Amino acid sequence: MGNVVSVVSFSKDVLPLFRPTDIEQMNVYGVLLNKYEWLSKPSNARIVYAYLSGQRTPRMPLGGPYWSDEQVNLFLQWMNGGYQR
């Protein structure tokens, strides 16, 4: 059997990973985690990914708890899959 590749979407998979407090905290900085139009811009998504993965600090979400490797990888899959809505 072949591998089943599921499409990772913003509304179904990515948005639910952000807690309301994460969205509120980051809105202050102009980081619109709950807005597809903002987060689907590759430059914005790459920066958010860098903070989620710990490549940049302070790590997101601010103050933790930090995302699991699986959650970070899901965000990366969304990016690599073409930022599906």
Residue 41 to residue 61: CA distance in whole angstroms? 20
Confidence of residue 13 (pLDDT cuts 50, 70, 90): very high
pLDDT tier for residue 28 given thresholds of 50, 70 and 90: very high
The ranges assigned to domains in the chain are 10-80
Question: Is the entire prediction scored with pTM above 0.85?
Answer: yes
The pLDDT value recorded for residue 6 is 83
Give the per-residue pLDDT at 65: 95
Task: State how far the alpha carbon of 55 is from the alpha carbons of 4, 16, 32, 80, in Å.
Answer: 30, 22, 20, 18
Residue range 37-61: mean pLDDT, rounded: 97
